[in-house]
Structure 1
Amino acid sequence: MEMREYDLASSNHKFRVKGYWLDQISDFDQEVDYPVIIICPGGGFTFHSDREEEPIALKFNSLGMHVVVLEYQLIGNEPVYPYALQEMAKTIDWINHQPESRHVDKKKIILAGFSAGGHIVAAYNGVATDSKLRTKYQLDQYSGTHAAIILGYPVIDMTVKGSFPNDEKIRRSISPDPTLWQAQNLLNKNSKPAFVWQTRTDKLVYVINSLMYVEKMTELGLPAEYHMFGSGIHGLALGTYVTKKPGKNKYLNAGASKWVDLFLGWLQMMGFLG
């Protein structure tokens, strides 16, 4: 496995991605092209959580997938949107231009978003599959498309009272365009399949977020698998000792940690692995 960092740019904005590339297995009878997962970590749009970067990237590597971590635009002098959407489109385009020697299955690009990163992935699943929105947010200059998404305890609707971000000033610093505040309303009949999981007792991002997204997908007839675990805090990541914060056992959750196995089964069922 090779890990490398790359500097990319979209709309004159520089950003960084990290590639976790699988090697070929020498005793296979033929070469294998691997799917690739693009991870958008959480962090409240103010930082990129390390707990949702390399630990999850390596876990996905172990399932037989290349991984790219997207360090998207954060709140600062400029808003998160629309730059984060353009950065995702550029990253997909960049993956599509990887050399054949990288052995990427370019038809199996899967987007994974956690918490705030989940909003970027959820919104992209609507914007990038709608020709008018794709033009409006200047994504049409980039090639390639994603095949599916995975959302872990995602921010979906930024207007949910009491749920993050529970402040209009923060919402506008994330996106001055209210069109992007409610990712479920961006979905359309061309949006891609989704695997979604969250805990019912999430006190930061209320579980209604993921429920609304899956409900909208169901209305549109889009493939979706949803797991709501009975208990657990926000930001579990893997839910194991690998991503547990020191001295904080609340980040251990044997039940919710099963999301990885459930996701693997869904990938196989959908024909993305195996």
Structure 2
Amino acid sequence: MTSIQKIKVTGLFLFLSFSCLAQEEITLYPGSVPNAKDVPNEEVKTPSQVVSKVSQPTLSVFLPPKEKATGAAVIICPGGGYGVLVIKREGYDVADAFTKQGIAAFVLKYRLPSEKTMIDPSIGPLQDAQQAIKTIRQRAKEWNVDPQKIGIMGFSAGGHLAATAGTHFTQSVLPATDGISVRPDFMILVYPVISFMEGIGHKGSGANLLGKSASAEQIKLYSNELQVTASTPPAFITHAGDDTVVPVSNSLIFYEALKKNNIPSELHIYSKGEHGYLKVPAFDEWFGRCLHWMATAGFVK
């Protein structure tokens, strides 16, 4: 997302095009990374900012001006099938849009599951999501954030991670939480992977996270429609009916599970959009509905 700034200099107008950058990118863990093997960092980033082989997780901080801040914050988990991270389009660009609305945003570069870099690859991404929630609550005053208005957002497999954070918080996978809740206050799920069950789930994401020989118990545990309870946070969900990569049934079954448990949530299904919303719906269309839900749900004024 690009902004145009106009500056008048001695009667002339200069036009400067720039992209909003994070104020800072911090290492996610203050000490050693839990569940990590001692191996070299082999992270790769393409010119279009698609990142692979992530073993050193970070949090990029995007803060609105203090006078505009609403107190709400969103942790953004880019998608990529647990194999890569589409970190600009499904991360930095979205964070920029949130800050323009007075909402703090934090792009999570979470570890991608790998037996080469992790002792237990299946819990690595969730550890990073929980650590992000913990970190923002710890530093809420510094970042001008309300610790009770911290949500998590995810696209595609990042949506699976966000939904996992919203349904698995009662059992932290961190070494210690220091008494800080790792439950997100709300979820925003954009064409999300929800289930790994046969006929619904996204096999690529499931294989990358759990391995190709995952047990039936593991598959059920990480099929998040089966993990919804009365304490699951509310959600905004959007998906396209013509999505041939991640079936829209993922969003439908998760919404049904939320409704069954009386969790106030909102679901928007577009007839067209395929996977990724590359052409339709327009960003302002679905993002505007998301902002409206955040307002009606009481997370922003």
**TM bracket, shorter-chain basis:** 0.7 to 0.9
Is contact 2:81-2:204 (8 Å) kept? Answer: no
1:230-252 residue CA offsets vs partner (Å, 9 max, x unmatched): 1111012xxxxxxxxxxxxxx22
Whole-angstrom CA distance in 2 between matches of 1:93 and 1:172: 25
Matching residue of 1:37: 74
Matching residue of 2:9: none
Q: SS of 1:17's equivalent?
A: strand
Q: SS of 2:60's equivalent?
A: strand
CA RMSD of aligned residues (A): 2.5
Q: Report which of the two structures shows the higher radius of gyration computed on alpha carbons.
A: 2
**Unmatched tracts of structure 1, length 5 or more:** 237-250
Whole-angstrom CA distance in 2 between matches of 1:110 and 1:198: 19
Matching residue of 1:195: 236
Matching residue of 1:21: 63
Whole-angstrom CA distance in 2 between matches of 1:33 and 1:149: 17
Superposed, 1:21-100 pairs within 5 Å as 21-25=63-67, 34-49=71-86, 50-77=88-115, 78=118, 80-98=121-139, 100=141
Aligned mate of 1:141, from 161, 177, 182: 177
* Residue correspondences, number: 250
Aligned mate of 1:172, from 210, 217, 231: 210
Q: SS of 1:23's equivalent?
A: coil
Whole-angstrom CA distance in 1 between matches of 2:213 and 2:62: 30
Superposed, 1:159-238 pairs within 5 Å as 159-161=197-199, 164-165=202-203, 169-170=207-208, 172-173=210-211, 176=214, 177-236=218-277
Matching residue of 1:158: 196
* Structure (1/2) with the larger helix percentage: 1
Is contact 1:153-1:199 (8 Å) kept? Answer: yes
1:95 shift after superposition = 0.8
Say if 1:89 and 1:7 are closer, same or farther in 2 by CA, change over 3 A.
Answer: same
Is contact 2:236-2:293 (8 Å) kept? Answer: yes
The amino acid that maps onto 1:110 is G
Q: SS of 2:244's equivalent?
A: coil
1:111 shift after superposition = 0.5
The amino acid that maps onto 2:287 is V
Say if 1:94 and 1:202 are closer, same or farther in 2 by CA, change over 3 A.
Answer: same
The answer to whether structure 1 residue 272 and structure 2 residue 299 are counterparts is yes
Whole-angstrom CA distance in 2 between matches of 1:139 and 1:175: 27
Which one has more relative contact order, counting CA pairs under 8 Å at least 6 apart?
1
Whole-angstrom CA distance in 1 between matches of 2:97 and 2:205: 35
Is contact 2:154-2:189 (8 Å) kept? Answer: yes
1:21 shift after superposition = 1.4
Whole-angstrom CA distance in 1 between matches of 2:206 and 2:108: 26
1:95-136 residue CA offsets vs partner (Å, 9 max, x unmatched): 1121634211111001101100000111111111x3xxx15x
**What percentage of residue pairs aligned between the two structures are identical?**
26
Whole-angstrom CA distance in 1 between matches of 2:293 and 2:85: 27
1:228 shift after superposition = 0.4
Is contact 1:75-1:173 (8 Å) kept? Answer: no
Q: SS of 1:107's equivalent?
A: coil
1:11-56 residue CA offsets vs partner (Å, 9 max, x unmatched): 254411111112223xx8xxx5621100001011111102101111
The answer to whether structure 1 residue 253 and structure 2 residue 280 are counterparts is yes
Whole-angstrom CA distance in 2 between matches of 1:35 and 1:22: 10
Matching residue of 1:5: 25
Say if 1:169 and 1:234 are closer, same or farther in 2 by CA, change over 3 A.
Answer: closer
Is contact 1:75-1:174 (8 Å) kept? Answer: no
Say if 1:208 and 1:254 are closer, same or farther in 2 by CA, change over 3 A.
Answer: closer
Whole-angstrom CA distance in 1 between matches of 2:249 and 2:283: 17
The answer to whether structure 1 residue 126 and structure 2 residue 162 are counterparts is no
